[in-house]
Amino acid sequence: MSAAQTATTTMSAARERGNKAFGVGNLAAALASYDEALTADQSDHLSLSNRALVLHKLSRFAEAAAAARKCTEIEPSFAKGHLRLSSALIQLMQQWGGPGVTSKFIKEARFALMTASRSLRAHDLLARARSASSDAPLGMIKTEETKLRADIEAIIARGLTLKVSYISSTT
């Protein structure tokens, strides 16, 4: 086995351990596993996205935003990365406030949501194309798409509430 294959195997196994740990609520073990996966392959956007989610759950929003931002730089069309980024940015707006910070985060969060939305439209087209063939996991695509759409709606609602609250407090 080559060094590259070994690194890929190590990364995949570590990410899977992280997924299992997250599934049972062991956030510390999940974070350690995602970090291990990223040590094996720094360009693994899935581990970065999952790491961002764990950091968000631990209320470490600046680190979550950094992980999600790196994820979106590596894989710009990955909707979950953009959703994680916008969610972390909205939390940072709540923590830090201020007109400069708020407008910067709103702009970046809006861009992340627009990118996620475009990615979902691409998912729609892919789902339609795959539905033409019998071997496509259409149900899985639809389930994931539904989850992403719900995430987008929740993030937009939270962001709008924050924006209205901020505007009300400054007037």
Over the stretch 68-92, which tens digit does the pLDDT of each residue have?
Answer: 999 999 998 888 888 888 888 878 8
Rounded-to-integer distance, Cα 84 and Cα 53, Å: 7
Which residue in the block uniquely carries the two structure tokens 């861009």?
A: 111
Is residue 19 in a domain? Answer: yes
120 class by beta-carbon count within 10 Å (0-12 exposed, 13-18 middle, 19+ buried):
middle
Q: Considering the domain boundaries, does residue 28 fall inside one? A: yes
In this structure, the answer to whether residues 71 and 34 fall within a common structural domain is no
Task: Evaluate if residue 97 carries a pLDDT over 50.
Answer: yes
Per-residue confidence (pLDDT) for residue 92, from 0 to 100: 80
Q: Is the pLDDT score of 50 beyond 80?
A: yes
Q: Name which residue leads in pLDDT, 8 or 163.
A: 8
Residues 6+ apart with CB under 8 A from 80: 49, 116, 148
Q: Quick one: pLDDT at residue 118?
A: 66
33 & 105 share domain? no
Amino acid identity, position 108: E
Task: Compute the distance between CA of residue 77 and CA of residue 132 in angstroms, rounded to an integer.
Answer: 23
> For a pLDDT cut of 90, what percent of the chain falls above it?
37
The Cα 107–Cα 112 span in angstroms is 9
Q: Are residues 88 and 166 in the same domain?
A: yes
Q: Which pLDDT does position 51 carry in this prediction?
A: 97
Same domain? For 36 and 77 the reply is no
158 vs 20, higher pLDDT: 20
Is residue 152 domain-shared with residue 69, that is, in the same domain?
yes
Q: Is residue 64 part of a domain?
A: yes
CATH number at residue 127: 1.20.58
Are 14 and 94 in a shared domain?
no
- Examine the domain organization and report whether 97 and 156 are in the same domain: yes
